[in-house]
Amino acid sequence: MVLLAGCAEFGLVTDGTSVSVGRPSNGYLVDAKRLADSGEGYKTQAIWRTRGNRYGTDELLDLITGVGRRMSREVKDVKLVVADLSSQGGGAARAWHRSHQSGRDADLVYYMRGPDGKPWEADAMRVFDATAKAKDGSGITVDIPRTWLLVKELVTAPEARVQWVFMYEPIAAKLLEHAAQIGEPEALIARARKTLKQPGDSARHDDHLHVRVYCADRDRTFGCVDIGPMELYAERAAEDARGGVLPEAIAALIGDAAHVSAGAAVAVTTGTPARSTATMATELGSLGRRLRVDASLRIWR
């Protein structure tokens, strides 16, 4: 691999893409990318903007912006609220976090409903009890269906391989129960179960969820270190190697005889008017980014 001079900080010379070095709780970040304060489907409230922890790896920012964009198609009345990432160079931010040091961690605020049951865009983190009700007496609750949609997007996102979604266990249990009730694929629920975790050595995350992504393959050559099981990484890597999409849909698209629905099913029809090679290539790339399937080839998204 040929690396172009771009950043010699910490003795690294890179091509300008981000580099996560070390562990999430003992690391740093080179050529960090700054997350915009707002974007399609997401925003950051003033309390977190003023801290300056707006930086992460390329993969983490792609994940947040991609998930925010896709959530905006499902949730149109409020935005996903993004709290802290890492500081510009990473490293310790002890005033707020023990981790968040290497650009692979991001805090997201639960989707909420107000005391009247209507969607409520979070202006701050609120501590929730085991029934998913705010402890401050406001009557605000965790929006379980929408927070499940968020978790679903995170664990199937093509932009980055998510290792953990740290979350208060009673809320995680409610999300998985909801997923089963609405008929989500068992393989998807099993993946979410592996990903959702209440930490045993830090805050129990009853006021927000904390996302951590695996090291990018390239960053491992610079000393990026994953802590914990690699099972989900291997699962996603195998999925990516297969293309992560319906084989018959790809074949039909290449054969110029497919119409791929963006909804809940894939329909293949014949007699589709011919399209240019460039158009089909664009559609194929979009398909690969948008569709993920479980072992029985049922669409997750």
**105-132 burial, b for 16+ CB within 10 Å, e for fewer?**
bbbbbbbbbeeeeeebebeebbebeeeb
The number of C-alpha atoms within 13 Å of 14 and in the hemisphere containing its C-beta is: 19
Give residue 199's pLDDT.
Answer: 83
Q: Cβ neighbours of residue 93 under 8 Å, at least 6 residues apart? A: 53, 84, 86, 87, 100, 101
Give residue 87's pLDDT.
Answer: 81
Give residue 301's pLDDT.
Answer: 42
Same-domain pairing of 121 and 203: yes
Q: Rounded distance, CA 272 to CA 283, Å?
A: 14
Same-domain pairing of 228 and 267: no
Q: How many CB atoms lie within 10 A of CB 214?
A: 23
Q: Which of 240, 259, 279 is a domain's end point?
A: 240
Same-domain pairing of 123 and 264: no
Q: Rounded distance, CA 66 to CA 160, Å?
A: 10
Q: Rounded distance, CA 162 to CA 249, Å?
A: 26
Same-domain pairing of 280 and 171: no
**11-45 burial, b for 16+ CB within 10 Å, e for fewer?**
ebebeebbbbbbbbbebbbbbbbebeeebebbbbb
End-to-end CA distance of the chain: 35
Same-domain pairing of 223 and 167: yes
Q: How many CB atoms lie within 10 A of CB 91?
A: 16
Same-domain pairing of 232 and 252: no
Same-domain pairing of 66 and 109: yes
Q: Rounded distance, CA 23 to CA 89, Å?
A: 14
Same-domain pairing of 210 and 78: yes
* Dihedral of alpha carbons 78, 72, 165, 159, sign: negative
Domain of 138, CATH number, reads 3.30.1380.10
Q: What is the pTM of this model?
A: 0.76
Q: Rounded distance, CA 98 to CA 105, Å?
A: 11
Same-domain pairing of 271 and 212: no
Q: Which of 199, 221, 240 is a domain's end point?
A: 240
Q: Could you tell me how far CA 267 lies from the centroid of its own chain?
A: 28
- Residue ranges making up the domain that contains 274: 242-290
Give residue 95's pLDDT.
Answer: 55
**73-87 burial, b for 16+ CB within 10 Å, e for fewer?**
eebeebbbbbbbbbb
- The torsion defined by the Cα of 13, 19, 20 and 21, in degrees rounded to 10, comes to -10
Please state the three-class secondary structure of 169-181 as a single string.
HHHHHHHHHHHHH
**Helix, strand or coil, per DSSP, at residue 42:** strand
The DSSP letter of residue 167 is -
User: What's the total number of domains in the chain?
Assistant: 2
Q: Rounded distance, CA 24 to CA 105, Å?
A: 7
Same-domain pairing of 232 and 247: no
Tens-digit pLDDT string for the chain (301 aa): 434 434 434 455 567 899 999 999 889 999 999 999 999 999 998 887 787 789 999 999 999 999 999 999 999 999 999 998 988 876 555 555 567 788 999 999 999 999 999 999 988 889 999 999 999 999 999 999 999 999 999 999 999 999 999 999 999 999 999 999 999 999 999 999 999 999 876 677 898 899 999 999 999 999 999 999 999 999 988 888 887 543 433 333 333 333 333 333 333 333 334 444 444 444 444 444 333 333 332 334 4
Same-domain pairing of 263 and 158: no
Are 161 and 236 a contacting pair, CB within 8 Å?
A: yes
**Helix, strand or coil, per DSSP, at residue 58:** helix
Same-domain pairing of 84 and 103: yes
